[in-house]
Structure 1
Amino acid sequence: MAFDILVALGCALLPNLLIGVPAKYPLGFPGPAFFALSALTGLALVVRRRWPAGLCVAVILLIPTDLRIQALPICLYSLAKYGRSRRTLAVLSAVATLATAARVLPIGRREFTVVDLVSGLPNLGFLTVVPILAGMYVGARRTVLLNLREKAERLEREQHLLASQTRMEERARIAREMHDVVAHRVSLMIIHSGALEVGMADGEHTGQVRLIGEIGRQALDELRQVLGVLRVDEGEESAPRAPQPTLTDLSRLVDASRAAGMRIELTTSGPSRPLDATAERTAYRLVQEALTNVHKHAGGAATHVRLRYAPGELHLTVDNEVPTAPSTARLPSGGHGLVGLRERVTVLGGTFEAGPRPDGGFRVSAAIPTREEAP
């Protein structure tokens, strides 16, 4: 728009300043009216992109009056570049060429010679042919660039879709492999625990063997829930059907750990209330991972789990004392449990801390922002 305004101002003012005052104005126009109409015709070029055909018709009609014939190349260029109809361009180009030839070439005013033709053709070409060809070239180049840009955007979208499809297929493959490997091993553990429970003559260790089987079944259920999120096969539900664990399941988690031989004390303070599902699930996983670490590294240490409901927050602390003996659990560790917990809590906007205490124990604490969930 700024460029068009400059072009319109230049076309409206410069010819009037450079040509000077003619001795006789065409069609009997008075001087002020001639210059005012000439300036308005030049200023009309500001709409050359929006209405190129109408502006070109107006300038062609003003050619016999010598008003703004300098604006004709700009109008023809704009028509060739921005016009939508090739038929309109051909008709107006022919009319503009004939009208300009009648004005530039001395046809009918005196004897027409070859010298007049040779001297007049460059002016005719500069006023009509050159701007039309330039506009057609720039318009075609603009169309090609737009098509190339659209093609590049379409290829980029297709690439994103292909990458997304590849990720989905990889997630499904990972889910299948995890199910084949982990579920198979856990199922064998459950089967062997059941065989031990049936074959044991005394009931001294029957409760522990039964607990192993129950823990294995819970592990299989949670594994299927996690793999259900990874699977994206058509016709299958991607979300787990079973509800995700919440703080109401925390007592069962503590009881299962106690049955495995851990000394755990669970304390809840503050007005208990139902929270949003994301916060409750994060709190449950935090306690679960903390108890797993205690069982791995400090199996015989006393552990304190504290939940404190505060306005807008839930404070969780899992403290274990100094272990009296090295742990004999020999459980594999990936080293990413606390990192994952930190990410879970940080995503919710909370704070997470984990580290050794001064007395030699270990503490995991977090403050999770919460909002009450409607019943």
Structure 2
Amino acid sequence: MAFRGGRWGTVRAVLPQVADTVYAFGSLAISASMLHNWPDPHHYWRTPDALAYALIAAVYLPLAVRRRAPLLILATTAAAVLVYFTLAYYHPVAVCGLALANYTVAAHRPRTVSVPCTVTTWLVLLWGTRLAEPGIGMLSVAFVTATAAVTWVTGDVSRRFAERGRRLAALTEQLRREQEERTRRAVSDECMRIARELHDVIAHHVSVISIQAGLADYVFTTDPATAHQAVGVISGSARDAGEEMRRMLAVLRHGVQHTAYDRTGTLPDADGTPPGLARLEELADRVRAAGVPVRITGGLAEPLPAGLDMCVYRVVQEALTNVLKHAPTATATVSLSRGRGSIRVRVTDDGPARPRTEERDGPGHGLLGMRERATIYGGTVTAGARSQGGFEVDLVMPVPEP
């Protein structure tokens, strides 16, 4: 198919040149034949000689390259026709060549150029009407006037259609580039979603495993029961992390169009339902098992929309993961409250001061990832050290009234 398309493109490129060449030589042959055979019993015109045939050749042969230099071809053709008419040879055989040259200028040049050229063409043709047979002089004038007008109008219309086609082609190319850019942005956004999901979900489980593994190693001989409990937590966290990884791989293998992402770009759980605040206590238990006490205060009177619910859950999960990693001896508190048209979720700890999350984790992680999720729903996330010690993550999200 590619070969056929390339071959057809080559044919389309050379076809106009072939047509012009055939027209030039064919018109020359027909005009020369008419000049030789046209009867002239009353001797209205000069007897054809070698100069007449040379002038006819000068009229028609340049038309083979008329598209390459329209103005030059019109000038040479008009000059040859003017000489031909002045010498009083049989005049109708030269009209078609000058008419085609005028059409070519109108089809390839703006009106500021084509209109004066058409007037010149009309004057040259008008000069030839003096050679008309007696009784048809006015008809000849009308004919050459119509010829000049029709060739200009058809050429000008052809030029405007060609310009419109070029503008359409340019617009098509622009749309194609914009589509490619949108595709690149979509791919980039999808990579960011996957990276955010890996950080928010997998990092949480890995942090629990790391802390529990250290605890188990520390009390392995002195407190086997605690070590056994820590190993159980490691096993559960590893299993959860494996399930999350399998869901991520399913997205990468089969495409996101087959997977239920919500607006935050978060994957659902194994049962098809996304995580949300209904599982907040389960999340707190996992963090408690890793050694960080977690208190949950307050609550929301009404359930949140599914996507917003998941967004809040992921922000709390990330905040508690940071407590595990950077303040494992602290006590964390998750407080939820709902006001008029908004909710507020604060995750605080009483651990030692530590650097801001985004400064430590780099772009695309930590606080930046929380902000990306919150921004989707018009919310804000602030984080920093507390005046009374510890660290705080404060999420405020607009919520429609129930």
Which secondary structure does the structure 2 equivalent of 1:245 belong to?
coil
Q: Identify if the C-alpha distance between structure 1 residues 128 and 146 changes in structure 2 by more than 3 Å, giving closer, same or farther.
A: same
Is the 1:275–1:371 Cα contact (8 Å) retained in structure 2?
Answer: no
8 Å CA contact 2:251, 2:258 repeated in 1:
no
Question: How far did residue 333 of structure 1 move?
Answer: 3.8
**Residue of 298, 318, 325 corresponding to 1:268:** 298
* Residues 268 and 306 in structure 1, CA contact (< 8 A), matched pair in contact too: yes
Aligned pair 1:146/2:175, yes or no?
Answer: no
**CA offsets 1:197-244 (integer angstroms, 9 cap, x no match):** 9xx894331111110121122223233444545555499656556321
Counterpart CA distance in 1 for 2:194 and 2:373 is 21
Equivalent residue, structure 2, for 1:44: none
* Alignment partner of 1:345 is 2:374: yes
SS in 2 for 1:222: helix
Report the counterpart of residue 315 of structure 1 in structure 2.
Answer: 344
* Aligned equivalents of 1:357, 1:235: Cα separation in 2: 43
Q: 3-state SS of the aligned residue for 2:282? A: helix
Alignment of 1:199-210 (within 5 A): 202-210=224-232
Aligned twin of 2:148: 130
Do the aligned partners of residues 235 and 308 (structure 1) sit closer, same or farther apart at CA in structure 2, a change above 3 Å counting?
Answer: closer
Distance 1:272 1:365 in 2: 20
Distance, in Å, in 2 between the alignment partners of 1:370 and 1:229 is 30
Paired AA for residue 305 in structure 1: V
Describe the SS at the equivalent of 1:306. Answer: strand
TM-score for both structures, normalised by structure 1: 0.53
1:285-338 deviations in Å (ceiling 9; x for gaps): 1111111111222111122110112333221001111339x9xxxxx9445210
Q: Are 1:256 and 2:286 counterparts?
A: yes
Contact map agreement 1:319 1:361 (CA 8 A) in 2: yes
1:222 maps to: 244
The alignment of Structure 1 onto Structure 2 pairs a total of residues equal to 249
**Residue matched to 2:277:** 247
Q: Which whole-Å CA distance do the structure 1 matches of 2:290 and 2:173 have between them?
A: 57
Q: Could you tell me which residue of structure 2 aligns to residue 41 of structure 1? A: none
1-structure distance, mates of 2:401, 2:253: 31
C-alpha displacement of 1:265: 1.1
RMSD: 4.7
- CA distances 1:243-266 after superposition (whole Å, capped 9, x unpaired): 211000111111100110002211
Contact in 2 for aligned 1:301/1:322 (Cα 8 Å): yes
Alpha-carbon distance in 1 for matches of 2:293, 2:258: 42
Provide Cα deviations, 1:116-165, integer angstroms capped at 9, x if missing partner: 679x84x764x523332222112112222233333344444555566667
The correspondence of residues 1-375 of structure 1 with structure 2, limited to 5 A, is 112=135, 121=141, 125=144, 127-159=145-177, 202-233=224-255, 237=259, 240=268, 242-269=272-299, 272-323=301-352, 333-334=361-362, 336-371=365-400
AA matched with 1:265: R
Call closer, same or farther: CA 1:167–1:354 in 2, change over 3 Å: closer
Question: Structure 1: which 5+ residue stretches go unaligned?
Answer: 1-76, 82-100, 327-331
**What letter matches 1:256 in structure 2?**
R
Distance 2:338 2:346 in 1: 12
The one-character-per-residue Cα deviations of 1:44-91 (angstroms, maximum 9, x if unpaired) are xxxxxxxxxxxxxxxxxxxxxxxxxxxxxxxxx9xx99xxxxxxxxxx
CA distance in 2, matches of 1:145, 1:360: 71
Displacement after TM superposition at 1:364 (Å): 0.8
| Counterpart secondary structure, 2:314 | helix
In the superposition, relative to structure 1, how do residues 230 and 142 fare at CA in structure 2: closer, same or farther (>3 Å)? farther
Unaligned runs of 5+ in 2: 1-102, 108-125, 262-267, 355-359
CA contact (8 A) 2:340 2:401 kept: no
Q: Return the letter of the residue paired with 1:249.
A: R
The question of whether the paired residues in 1 share the 8 Å contact of 2:294 and 2:331 is answered with yes
SS in 2 for 1:212: helix
TM-score (ref. length: structure 2)? 0.50
How far apart, CA to CA, are the structure 2 residues paired with 1:372 and 1:221? 35
Distance across 1 between alignment mates of 2:278 and 2:148 = 83
Q: Distance in 1 between matches of 2:367 and 2:383?
A: 8
Secondary structure of the corresponding residue to residue 307 of structure 1: strand
Q: 2:256, 2:382 → 1: CA distance?
A: 41
